[in-house]
Amino acid sequence: MDSASPWAGRYAPTLEDFERLGREALDMLPESFRGLCEDIQISVADYATKDVLKSLDLTSPYDLLGLFEGLGLAQGASEIRTGQLPNRIWLYRRAILEYWVDREETLDAIIRHVLIHEIGHHFGLSDDDMEAIEAEAY
């Protein structure tokens, strides 16, 4: 490979890179919205598990970019329950990278979109609400 190439030494973002991008995207959300997300953890995996895909009737791991896992506010997450796992948003790295290849969007914009969409599930927001938050985040 030509070392003068701007792509010399560059590799696809790692799981750790994705986690950092997810946290940066979370930090860019509007203050009022971000304050409500303090209890949500961000986790990254290459793909959703087979069990997750099966539970959503999906056959390809590339069909799922992210997933909210836990109890949303609409399902009573405001009530603390013993033994309850923390709310978590999964970002699926390989699925997001595959999606990114076919789009004219930046990787951070796609990750931000996935996060807002999954957080929106937590709060029971409408698509219009999520679009407004996303517009404010730019």
Q: Is the pLDDT of residue 124 over 70?
A: yes
Range of the domain at 19: 15-70+85-137
Domain-embedded: residue 21: yes
Say what the alpha-carbon torsion angle 110, 38, 132, 124 is, to the nearest 10 degrees: 100
Residues contacting 24, CB < 8 A, separation 6+: 108
- DSSP tag of 103: S
What CATH number is given to the structural domain containing 61? Answer: 3.30.2010.20
Mean pLDDT along residues 19-48: 86
Domain-embedded: residue 91: yes
- Unique residue bearing structure tokens 């999954």: 118
Domain-embedded: residue 7: no
Domain-embedded: residue 109: yes
Lowest mean pLDDT among 20-24, 82-86, 100-104, 122-126: 82-86
Domain-embedded: residue 9: no
pLDDT at 131: 85
Number of compact structural domains in the chain: 1
Mean pLDDT along residues 121-137: 82
Domain-embedded: residue 20: yes
Alpha helices in 1-138 (DSSP H): 15-27, 31-34, 50-55, 93-101, 107-123, 127-137
Half-sphere exposure in the Cβ direction for 34 (13 Å, CA): 14
Domain-embedded: residue 75: no
Q: Is the pLDDT of residue 36 over 80?
A: no
Domain-embedded: residue 78: no
Query: What pTM was computed for the model?
Result: 0.82
